[in-house]
């Protein structure tokens, strides 16, 4: 995706980008400190150029880093990891790009607690990253790539997917599917166990209810007999 097309921000988005409140933006707009643009319907919006200007950064002087991100599930796949690095290095060399950092990550694409991956996202939010290169979408994250791409775009970070299916191990996909099935099977087992517990509770409740009904009927019969005895006397 070309980030040059993603240049407009709603006030709330721009406030989050600057780490200020929307009210602060409104005050700056009134004070002419940071004047908002207006749509034909008079809605306020801001541009990325305004962000760079506010931060004192020129487009040509964008010093944010370019990062290569590679990932495999286990250390037994180290060869595949290096293949990803070599493939992406060849790509950036052909494009004349200078890479500032190469990240070699280990862990499942379903694991959102990967330390290096989270550190990278943290740097995205700190506006330290300009571009992230991956060999395949699932190297970055197994599911939800589009959401994370939009998230990075909000910070004007481009994710370049240099698609190479050979570098997306089939075995990993199988492992991830097995992991998902395992999670759902555990939940299904838990639901069955919970259902049995509920059925047991219902049986106990029914027993108590039946016993209370029997006691109530017996009490009524006793009271009736007592009244009948008093009348006879």
Query: Is 158 in contact with 132 (CB distance < 8 Å)?
Result: yes
Residue of 4, 63, 73, 179 marked catalytic: 73
- The Cα–Cα gap between 201 and 195 comes to 10
Place of tokens 């994710």: 159
Q: Which two tokens stand for residue 88?
A: 């992406």
- The Cα–Cα gap between 202 and 69 comes to 55
Query: Is 9 in contact with 46 (CB distance < 8 Å)?
Result: yes
CA dihedral 129, 134, 140, 145 (to 10 degrees): 90
Helices (H) and strands (E) in the chain, counts: 8, 7
Query: Is 52 in contact with 58 (CB distance < 8 Å)?
Result: yes
Strands of 44-47's sheet, edge to edge? 8-9, 44-47, 37-38
Q: In the annotation, is 232 catalytic?
A: no
Write the DSSP symbol of residue 34: S
Burial of 114 (0-12, 13-18, 19+ CB in 10 A): middle
Q: Which two tokens stand for residue 49?
A: 């150029």
Q: What angle do CA 123, 15, 146 make, to 5 degrees?
A: 55
Which residues participate in catalysis according to the annotation? 73
């Amino acid at each position: 995706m070309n980030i040059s097309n993603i240049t407009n921000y709603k006030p709330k988005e721009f406030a989050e980008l600057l780490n200020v409140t929307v009210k602060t933006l409104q005050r700056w707009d009134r004070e002419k400190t940071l004047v908002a643009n207006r749509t034909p319907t008079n809605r306020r919006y801001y541009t990325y150029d305004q962000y760079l200007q506010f931060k004192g950064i020129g487009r040509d002087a964008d010093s944010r880093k370019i990062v290569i991100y590679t990932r495999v599930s286990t250390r037994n796949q180290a060869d595949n990891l290096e293949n990803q690095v070599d493939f992406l290095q060849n790509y950036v060399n052909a494009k004349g790009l200078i890479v500032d950092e190469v990240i070699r990550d280990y862990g499942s694409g379903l694991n959102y607690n990967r330390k290096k991956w989270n550190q990278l996202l943290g740097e995205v939010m700190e506006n330290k990253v300009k571009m992230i290169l991956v060999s395949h979408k699932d190297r970055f994250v197994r599911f939800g790539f589009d959401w994370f791409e939009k998230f990075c775009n909000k910070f004007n970070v481009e994710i370049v997917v240099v698609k190479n299916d050979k570098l997306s191990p089939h075995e990993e996909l199988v492992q991830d599917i097995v992991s998902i099935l395992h999670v759902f099977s555990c939940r299904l087992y838990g639901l069955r166990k919970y259902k049995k517990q509920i059925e047991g509770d219902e049986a106990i409740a029914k027993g108590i209810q039946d016993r209370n009904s029997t006691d109530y009927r017996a009490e009524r019969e006793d009271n009736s007999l007592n009244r009948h005895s008093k009348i006879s006397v």
